[in-house]
Amino acid sequence: MVEPVKSVFRMTLLMTIYVLSTWAGTVDNAEAQVNPDINILCSPTAVEIDVAPGDTRIGTTYCDASNPTLYVEKVNIQITSAGLTYSAPGSITVASQDTATFEVVVRGDDQMTEGSRQVTISARVDQANGAPCATCTSQVTNVMVVVKQFALLRVQAEEPFRQLRPKIDYTFEFKVYNDGNNRDQFIIGVENREDLEDDGFQISLPETTTWVDSKAPPETMRVMMRTPKKQGWSDQYYNLQFCAVSDHSLRSNVLFPIMQCQSVTIYIRGVYLPGFMLIPSLLMLGLAAAIVGRRSVSREDLEGTNPLFQDPLL
């Protein structure tokens, strides 16, 4: 008798739990129908865009709009892009207890300044089952757009060509421009320094690095040199290769660091020894005197005034 009573009690308890859970679901559904709502979540939350010349300058995030209610909802989408151009749907329709995914694409300006910008994405239920929702509020999420730094530089030689004598000191000046989108450090050097020193040049650089602000006036860098001491007749042409490389590109582990070189042609005149030049000079002077004397004799002979050619009987 006791066992059947326990079985009936268990069945009654299970039925009671089931009925209560059904009532709870009904209450939740009723509350959802009364309060239209939308949830929004975007990924990635940090979008990087490249803005160097030739880059697409585009970044994309994907947003999920989830509808936890029993309504079919029309959702309005608003974007605050912090000065970036963007592309996104103006509205989407989300079925009951469903999720709709949409894209938000942002685009930066060509070579825009490096930095971070916050893009705000908001979603608000405009209609629930076709009825306007005047009390619905916006659900907001933020995405950080990171404009990446890029390196770009120019090098200008003040004197692309220079004629110099042997064994003199001279300073060449070069201008380094930062055409990148952020402050950058540039490492400078003479690419063919060893070759020039093997030819007898002495080279020193007062500075080997310099910081230049983006789009700022250039920094002037100097290469000091002493030309080689050479004797003889020959003239020589040499080439000085001045180079600057972006430190940012080196730290970014790019395949090819951003570097630019500028060349200067150096013409070194040969040294003509005074003793060696004296003999040809004397020969030329003697030849000129002989020619002048010959012309004088011929003129006197023709005029009959030269005593050497007069008749002794006259």
Give the whole-angstrom CA distance, residue 313 versus residue 167: 71
Q: What pTM value is reported for the model? A: 0.71
Per-residue model confidence (pLDDT) at position 39: 96
Tell me if residue 253 falls in helix, strand or coil.
coil
Whether the Cβ atoms of residue 125 and residue 77 lie closer than 8 Å to each other = no
Residues 273-286 have pLDDT tens digits of: 555 444 455 556 66
Per residue in 184-229, pLDDT (tens digit) is 999 999 999 999 999 999 999 999 999 999 999 999 999 999 999 8
Provide the 10 A C-beta neighbour count for residue 26.
Answer: 10
Q: Give tens-digit pLDDT for 140-177.
A: 999 999 999 999 999 999 999 999 999 999 999 999 99
What are the two backbone dihedrals, phi and then psi, of residue 199, each rounded to the nearest 5 degrees?
A: -85, 5
Find residue 212's DSSP bridge partners.
184
The CATH architecture annotation of domain 153-268 reads Sandwich (2.60)
pLDDT at position 145 is 97
Superfamily of domain 35-147: Immunoglobulins (2.60.40.10)
Query: How far is it, in rounded angstroms, from Cα 4 to Cα 136?
Result: 55
**Helix, strand counts (H, E) of the chain:** 4, 19
Mean pLDDT of 250-257: 88
Extended strands (E) in the chain: 39-43, 46-49, 58-66, 73-80, 85-87, 91-94, 99-107, 115-128, 131-132, 139-147, 153-157, 161-164, 169-178, 184-190, 202-204, 209-212, 219-226, 236-246, 259-268
Cα–Cα distance, 166 to 230 (Å, whole number): 6
Residues 238, 201 contacting (CB under 8 angstroms): yes
How far apart are the C-alpha atoms of 28 and 68, rounded to whole Å?
A: 11
**Two domains, one topology: 35-147 and 153-268:** yes
Q: Where are the domains of the chain?
A: 35-147, 153-268
